[in-house]
Amino acid sequence: MKNRLARRIRVCTLAYLTFTLVMLAQDKPKATVVVPVISARPEDVSSIEAIIKADYETISGGVGLPRQWARDLTLYDPNARQFSVYKDSKTGALAIWSPTPKEYADEADAHFVSEGFTEHELAHKIYRFGNVATVLSSYEGSLASGKLYSRGVNIYQLYYDGKRWWISSVTWDSENYINPIPPELLPQK
């Protein structure tokens, strides 16, 4: 009887410790990037083309070079969201990741800096009505090693407040064999 009780206590204690360790691992805070608050560069927000160009520039750089997250955040409305559509590798189902621009910086920074990620626009189409615009911008991202990392299309939603342009959202999807970049969003030869 004493052996059974002692064994039960050990099993319960082991289960409790395992549960506690799992919970602590899940509660572990993710790395965050310290991003100072700065003013937008007037040349970054003066036109639709300029703000899109600046968005690509801020996340790009070589191995070990810090990204321009402070500059990047000046491009986005304080309530902006980003949406990435991707296929879940385990289930095959489409999924959405929707970070704020700061959450995106926190998630992407270490990888971008360690791998030397650079992204640039291939081509774009602008659809503007008054003070709002949608921009379809095809992109190509590569690592410092020269390896192609990704290609796809960013869809920007922007607005003009009478003084400057703001990005209110950006949604992107990667190119794949059943979802190629449309010809009108590829560089014209």
Q: At residue 135, does pLDDT exceed 70?
A: yes
Q: At residue 137, does pLDDT exceed 70?
A: yes
Question: CA 56, CA 118: separation in Å to the nearest integer?
Answer: 8
Report the pLDDT value the prediction gives residue 100, as an integer from 0 to 100. 95
Report the pLDDT value the prediction gives residue 47, as an integer from 0 to 100. 98
The residue-averaged pLDDT of 103-131 equals 97
Under the banding of pLDDT at 50, 70 and 90, the label for residue 15 is very low
Locate 15 and state its tokens.
Answer: 């289960």
Q: Of the ranges 7-16, 75-84, 107-116, 170-179, which one carries the lowest mean pLDDT score?
A: 7-16
Under the banding of pLDDT at 50, 70 and 90, the label for residue 50 is very high
Report the pLDDT value the prediction gives residue 188, as an integer from 0 to 100. 87
Which pairing describes strands 148-160 and 94-97: parallel, antiparallel, or unpaired? unpaired
Under the banding of pLDDT at 50, 70 and 90, the label for residue 31 is confident
Q: At residue 22, does pLDDT exceed 80?
A: no
Question: CA 115, CA 131: separation in Å to the nearest integer?
Answer: 38
Q: At residue 163, does pLDDT exceed 50?
A: yes
Under the banding of pLDDT at 50, 70 and 90, the label for residue 21 is very low
Q: For residues 100 and 70, is the Cβ–Cβ distance under 8 A?
A: no
Where helices occur in the chain by DSSP H, the ranges are 2-27, 48-59, 69-73, 101-115
Question: CA 63, CA 65: separation in Å to the nearest integer?
Answer: 6
Question: CA 77, CA 150: separation in Å to the nearest integer?
Answer: 26
Q: At residue 16, does pLDDT exceed 80?
A: no
Locate 140 and state its tokens.
Answer: 């190509």
What is the CA angle 109-53-76, rounded to 5?
A: 60
How far from 101 is each of 4, 66, 129, 133, CA to CA, in Å?
55, 16, 25, 19
User: Residue for token digits 């910086």?
Assistant: 105
The residue-averaged pLDDT of 164-181 equals 96
